[in-house]
Structure 1
Amino acid sequence: MTTTDLPTTVPYREVTDANGRTYRLGETDIDIMGRKRKWMVILPWVGMMGISSAEYAFASAEDTLHTAHHWASGHIFWMMTVWVFFQASVAFPAGRLRESGRLPARWAMMLGSAGTLLGYLSLAYAPHVVFAYIGFSMFSGMGAGMVYATCVNMVGKWYPERRGGKTGFVNGGFAYGSVPFVFIFTGVMDLSNFRTVLLMVGLFLAAVVAVAGLFFKDPPKNWWPADVDPLNPPDDPRARRSLEKNPPAVKQYSPMEAWKTGRVALMWFCLACTSGVNIFGIAFQVDIGKEAGFASGIVATAMSLKAIVNGTGRGVIGWLSDRFGRKRCLLNVCVILGLAQFGLIWSANTQNLPLFLFFSAVSGFGGGAIFPMFAALTADYFGENNNATNYGMVYSSKLVSGLGAGMGAVVVGAWGHTGAFILAGSISFFAGFVALFLTPPGRPKRGKITPNPQPISRDAH
């Protein structure tokens, strides 16, 4: 691997398909950036792991922070809610800046690194809870949003012919990267060392994000792998199967065009529901485990299992979606996530530890798998050129779903854990019903396809 960006001098040509979509052919990944494109999977994956602990391990530090700073317990859940709000709010404007060229990928990662460090510093040294909201919830949230949007969209641009598995793998780093920190925050950190632990964790994770981001580079607009023919079934059986199940967008949709199709609003609603259920589970699974009488070490193990399966499940569902289709996998994930909420509260109420661990894993799988599905669907439906902005619109649904922690506390107070988890499961089922209406824009519905007498153009422009 080299740090040198090689300006390509390789001739390329542009071809158009029957829909008028343009593909830029001829340049290889090595021609463009001096290294193979697999690095644009590995490095974004590392960057995602660097920001994961702020969301997935934060709840594990609740008791220590509450006691050390004398914060009310409700503040911890609302800090997480505000963190998610800012993480989601930055996705759309960051996407616009990225695609306009005013915010290179490397600079987005550097900003994310700085936000990560500020977040942990504020948790360690905040003289008042307001400073923790500003440092952790706002700056760390925005930094994580920068990193998340950059990493997810980067891999989709470099693998347009089979993005599902690759996007899922990168997305998975956002969950299982937090596993060591769940144990650090529950087993190592205490009132005597919490500042030192938070400082060291912040420095380490900020460095991870910054170093990974140094090597980021986008491909040119409309780029397509030189060895994959976009106008004919590719020789690679994996790429051929993926393109059959998930055909590329009929054109490169601008954000306004994408919004007018109505699909963005449907995706936004479905992701708001399912990610809200996921965040609710992250915030309250520790509580129901303790309420059931399980030892704190067991509860930490359950959370770690949830995070591991949450992360690995993203890669698995991405790979499956390349084989069986994105929408079919999304519908199954909504059902699995809903069933897991009923299973969690049932196993906690009956104090059945093996089932509690099992449903924790299932909930982790469902909660994680939704994100790569929507990331890949956005590019499938609207193209890669404006994907950072288009996915930013979809991902902004976390502005609402972040209430899964804060409002979840309100629902738990009114209905108890049983009522809250039943509501969460029902919401996931309803999201699956809404997802039934998702179809790729610009393509005729099945059964209404008529032969196209126009031959496909392969002329260079």
Structure 2
Amino acid sequence: MPASDMPEANATAPQATLSRPDSAFREVTDHNGRVYRIGETDRQLMGRSRVWMVILPWFAMMAISSSEYAFTSAEETLAEGHNWHGAHIFWLLGVWVFFQAAIAFPAGKLRENGTLSARNAMILGAVGTVLGYLALAYAPNVFWAYLGFGFFGGSGAGLVYATCVNMVGKWYPERKGGKTGFVNGGFAYGSVPFIFLFKSYMDTSNYGGVLLVVGLFLAATVAASGFFFKDPPKNWWPAHVDPLTVATDDPRVRRSLLKNPPADHQYTPMEAVRTGVLPLMWFCLLCTAGVNIFGIAFQVPFGDEMGFAGGIVALAMSLKAIINGTGRGVIGWISDRYGRRQTLTFVCVVLGLSQFAVYFSGSIGSLPLFLMASMVSGFGGGAIFPLFAAMTADYFGENNNASNYGLVYSSKLVSGLVGSGLGAVVVAAWGYGGAFILAGSIGLFAGGLSLFLRRPKPVIPATPPDALALSRA
């Protein structure tokens, strides 16, 4: 780890303490001018343990996951039932991913300026979820499917995703990797029951009713979970952890802060962009997310073409989703121990190599290898998202994390269309072999890019502690 990323200096840095006698909290300032609000517990702020801001977002993330991970399991039924020809199914998924990512930054800005509360964002997400399923069930033509599922469904899922990921990071600023990974994991393995439902039990005679019931159930889950969401105050830091030193009785917190020290400054989006680090994160996520979405979109049709039975292909996709989700929690825990950037490089390499393994195992007709490669691919494809989410807060702070991560996550605007829609073009032109080799090469390239990621130093001079104290007097 570069010396600039090490936090030991915080332990001896000059600091200022801003006390407010009429309040339960006080504010301390580190040597970079970053302010921490300490003294208030989670129970004082919302009447319950902050663990609920892990459990509730986890349920909501599981509820929206089927729209992405289970969608291709329903592609044959939808294409036949609606008489959709050509690559509409793949472009539908690409459009859904586009709007799921597009909503992240504007939603983050609205959340941070107080225009949109977390609860209202989740309610809007629930509405978008049910509209997406209604469109898939009853759209009279493909335009309404693009509008209902692609625009409303994707935007709704994006609101839920962005709100959930940022919520857990705000409540666990001192050890966010494992918690963010756990919540993020629900976005994958929550789809497993629906993969089997759509692939094995839904057909052209019942798909409308099945999709309607599923949409209503998932929307209700999102709305019920989001009703209890609450943000902590700006600059909040847990009362039992000293933000100015890594000295703490909890070895997990101490190890996490040593490997992933807090940001030196609460960056605004434009400040984060000017560091050059955020654009590099954007491009790295573009590459890895594109490879992940390519695998989601084409593993099922590739398995079908290689002669594997439909139930086996559904099993492979389910295993991919399970490992994709559980891997997010595991990799978050690993990144707390060994560092976010180091873990990201490892994951990119795994993601790239697994694409070669998926194609090789399918081309020789080896079912065990195909299942194993699918699981490894799922692990790599899922682990990138919680790493980037936690890394964004590590590098740029928590106060503007909804907007900053919204900018990073906006790379999925492009990667969704490339991985799904353009992926169909590449498969048609080069075959599955050329497409999987290209995807694997892009994953390895992203691993090389990740080596250049570093925690930035403040782009503006930090306010001296004494001046800050005077401004607050």
Instruction: Verify same fold: TM over 0.5.
Output: yes
> Following the alignment from structure 1 to structure 2, what is the Cα–Cα distance between the partners of residues 69 and 287?
19
**Structure 1 counterpart of 2:344, from 308, 311, 330:** 330
> Following the alignment from structure 1 to structure 2, what is the Cα–Cα distance between the partners of residues 430 and 89?
25
2:70 aligned partner = 57
**Structure 2 counterpart of 1:278, from 277, 292, 295:** 292
> Following the alignment from structure 1 to structure 2, what is the Cα–Cα distance between the partners of residues 246 and 262?
19
- Count residues with an aligned counterpart: 444
Shift of 1:458: 13
> Following the alignment from structure 1 to structure 2, what is the Cα–Cα distance between the partners of residues 291 and 456?
69
Shift of 1:38: 0.2
> Following the alignment from structure 1 to structure 2, what is the Cα–Cα distance between the partners of residues 204 and 319?
31
1:203-214 equivalence runs, <5 A: 203-214=216-227
2:120 aligned partner = 107
- Is 1:429 the counterpart of 2:421 in the alignment? no
Gaps of 5+ in 2: 1-21
**Structure 2 counterpart of 1:66, from 75, 79, 97:** 79
Residue identity in the other structure for 2:30: D
In 2, are the aligned partners of 1:272 and 1:401 still within 8 Å (CA)? Answer: yes
Helix, strand or coil at the partner of 2:36: strand
CA gap 1:119/1:455 in 2 versus in 1, 3 angstroms: closer
Residue identity in the other structure for 1:412: V
**CA-to-partner distance for each residue in 1:7-55, whole Å, 9 max, x for gaps?**
xx85110001111110001100011000000000000111111110000
> Following the alignment from structure 1 to structure 2, what is the Cα–Cα distance between the partners of residues 459 and 228?
22
Shift of 1:235: 1.7
> Following the alignment from structure 1 to structure 2, what is the Cα–Cα distance between the partners of residues 364 and 187?
21
1:43 aligned partner = 56
> Following the alignment from structure 1 to structure 2, what is the Cα–Cα distance between the partners of residues 319 and 278?
21
Shift of 1:459: 8.4
2:4 aligned partner = none
Helix, strand or coil at the partner of 1:24: strand
> Following the alignment from structure 1 to structure 2, what is the Cα–Cα distance between the partners of residues 115 and 314?
25
In 2, are the aligned partners of 1:18 and 1:457 still within 8 Å (CA)? Answer: no
> Following the alignment from structure 1 to structure 2, what is the Cα–Cα distance between the partners of residues 32 and 44?
18
**Structure 2 counterpart of 1:239, from 230, 244, 253:** 253
- Is 1:12 the counterpart of 2:25 in the alignment? yes
State the TM-score, normalized to the length of structure 1. Answer: 0.94
Helix, strand or coil at the partner of 1:203: helix
In 1, are the aligned partners of 2:290 and 2:415 still within 8 Å (CA)? Answer: yes
In 1, are the aligned partners of 2:33 and 2:465 still within 8 Å (CA)? Answer: no
**CA-to-partner distance for each residue in 1:241-276, whole Å, 9 max, x for gaps?**
000000000010011110100011000000000000
**Structure 2 counterpart of 1:250, from 227, 242, 264:** 264
Runs (4 or more) in structure 1 with deviation over 4 Å come to: 454-461
**CA-to-partner distance for each residue in 1:377-431, whole Å, 9 max, x for gaps?**
0000000000000000000000110020000000000000000000000001111
1:385 aligned partner = 399
Helix, strand or coil at the partner of 2:27: strand
- Is 1:402 the counterpart of 2:421 in the alignment? no
1:175-186 equivalence runs, <5 A: 175-186=188-199
Shift of 1:328: 0.4
Helix, strand or coil at the partner of 1:71: coil
- Is 1:298 the counterpart of 2:312 in the alignment? yes
1:411 aligned partner = 426
- Is 1:317 the counterpart of 2:336 in the alignment? no
Residue identity in the other structure for 1:380: D
Shift of 1:288: 1.3
> Following the alignment from structure 2 to structure 1, what is the Cα–Cα distance between the partners of residues 292 and 45?
38
In 2, are the aligned partners of 1:17 and 1:457 still within 8 Å (CA)? Answer: no
1:191 aligned partner = 204
> Following the alignment from structure 1 to structure 2, what is the Cα–Cα distance between the partners of residues 127 and 289?
30
Shift of 1:443: 7.9
Pick which of 350-359 and 284-293 moved more.
Answer: 284-293
In 2, are the aligned partners of 1:15 and 1:459 still within 8 Å (CA)? Answer: no
- Is 1:29 the counterpart of 2:42 in the alignment? yes
Shift of 1:90: 0.5
- Is 1:438 the counterpart of 2:449 in the alignment? no
Shift of 1:187: 1.1
**Structure 1 counterpart of 2:158, from 120, 139, 145:** 145
1:450 aligned partner = none
2:135 aligned partner = 122
Residue identity in the other structure for 2:372: F
CA gap 1:458/1:264 in 2 versus in 1, 3 angstroms: closer
Identity %: 70
In 2, are the aligned partners of 1:92 and 1:396 still within 8 Å (CA)? Answer: yes
Gaps of 5+ in 1: 1-8, 445-453
In 2, are the aligned partners of 1:23 and 1:230 still within 8 Å (CA)? Answer: yes
**Structure 2 counterpart of 1:93, from 80, 84, 106:** 106
Pick which of 183-192 and 165-174 moved more.
Answer: 183-192
Helix, strand or coil at the partner of 1:228: coil
Shift of 1:376: 0.4
In 2, are the aligned partners of 1:62 and 1:73 still within 8 Å (CA)? Answer: no
Shift of 1:291: 1.4
CA gap 1:30/1:145 in 2 versus in 1, 3 angstroms: same
Residue identity in the other structure for 2:205: S
Residue identity in the other structure for 2:299: Q
Pick which of 333-342 and 284-293 moved more.
Answer: 284-293
Helix, strand or coil at the partner of 1:333: helix
1:352 aligned partner = 366
> Following the alignment from structure 2 to structure 1, what is the Cα–Cα distance between the partners of residues 86 and 221?
31
- Is 1:131 the counterpart of 2:144 in the alignment? yes
Residue identity in the other structure for 1:441: P
In 2, are the aligned partners of 1:15 and 1:458 still within 8 Å (CA)? Answer: no
Helix, strand or coil at the partner of 2:65: helix
> Following the alignment from structure 1 to structure 2, what is the Cα–Cα distance between the partners of residues 369 and 261?
25
1:447 aligned partner = none
> Following the alignment from structure 1 to structure 2, what is the Cα–Cα distance between the partners of residues 357 and 91?
33
In 1, are the aligned partners of 2:29 and 2:465 still within 8 Å (CA)? Answer: no
Helix, strand or coil at the partner of 1:402: helix
> Following the alignment from structure 1 to structure 2, what is the Cα–Cα distance between the partners of residues 220 and 430?
40
In 2, are the aligned partners of 1:274 and 1:367 still within 8 Å (CA)? Answer: yes
